[in-house]
Amino acid sequence: MILVHTELLLLIQNKIMEQKPDPLMPALYGGLVIAAFWAVPGLNLINCFCCAGVLFGGLLSVYLYARDLRPDMEPLTMKDCLRLGLYSGVVASVAAVAINLMVTMVFGNVAIEMMERIIRKMKLEMPPEFEDMISEAKRQKISPAGAVVSIVVYLIPNTMFAALGGLIGWSLFKPKADDSTSR
C-alpha cells in the first residue's frame, strides 16, 4: 500500500516537474563559438591543440544549458550533455565554413594576412612549415564544391570533439549526489 502511494507521489511529482529548456539555443551559441575558433585569424591556432576550441564550445553549450535549468525542472543528464555537444558540432561545421566563405568573398585573403601580422607582431617563434601553410592558404580559391567538402571534413572532428566537450561539461556541471533534484 505504502509502495503504491510512493509510486503515485513520484508520478505526480514527475508530471508537475517542468520541461527542460530547449537545447537548441545553448547548442547554437556553443556552435557559433566553435565556428569563431575556426574562422577568426589567430584564434584558430587554439584548435591546433587537439581541437581545444571545439572542446570549449561543447563545454560552453552544457554550461549555458545547465544555467537555464531551474530546480523545478528535470535535472541535467549525460545524454543532454552529449546531445548538446553533437548539436554544437553540427552548427559549428556549417557556420565556420559560411563565415570563412563570407570573409573571403568580402575581404579576400585578408584573414590570412591578418593572422600572419598578429603572429609576427607577437614575435612568436613559428616552425618553417608555418610559412608554407600561410602561402598555401593565400593561394586557396573559394568554390561551392570546396565548401561542401570542407563541411564534411570538419563535421567529423567537430561533432566528435564537441561531444567530448559536452561530456567534460557533464563531469563538471552534473548534479551532486546529495542534490534533491538529481537522479
Partner 1 sequence: MRTRLILIGAVGLWCCLIVATPLLASGEGGLRIAGRALYVFFSPVCHQWDSHSFHLCGEKFPVCIRCSAIYFGFLCGIVLYPTLGRKIEQRFSARTIWIAAAAGMIIDVALSTAGISDSSAVTRVFTGGVFGILAAFVLTSLLQELIGSSSVQ
Question: Cα–Cα distance between 30 and 24 in angstroms, integer?
Answer: 10
Question: Cα–Cα distance between 62 and 164 in angstroms, integer?
Answer: 11
> Minimum distance between the CB of residue 124 and partner 1, rounded to whole angstroms?
6
Under the binding rule (CB under 8 A), the answer on residue 129 touching partner 1 is yes
**Window of 8-16, 46-54, 102-110, 137-145 that interacts with partner 1 by CB under 8 A:** 46-54
Nearest to 157 by CA among 95, 90, 100, 99: 90
**Window of 15-23, 25-33, 42-50, 62-70 that interacts with partner 1 by CB under 8 A:** 42-50
Tally helices (H) and strands (E) across the chain.
7, 0
> Minimum distance between the CB of residue 114 and partner 1, rounded to whole angstroms?
18
Contacts with partner 1, residue ranges (CB under 8 A): 45, 47-51, 78-79, 82, 124-125, 127-130, 133, 153-154, 156-158, 161, 164, 167-168, 170-172
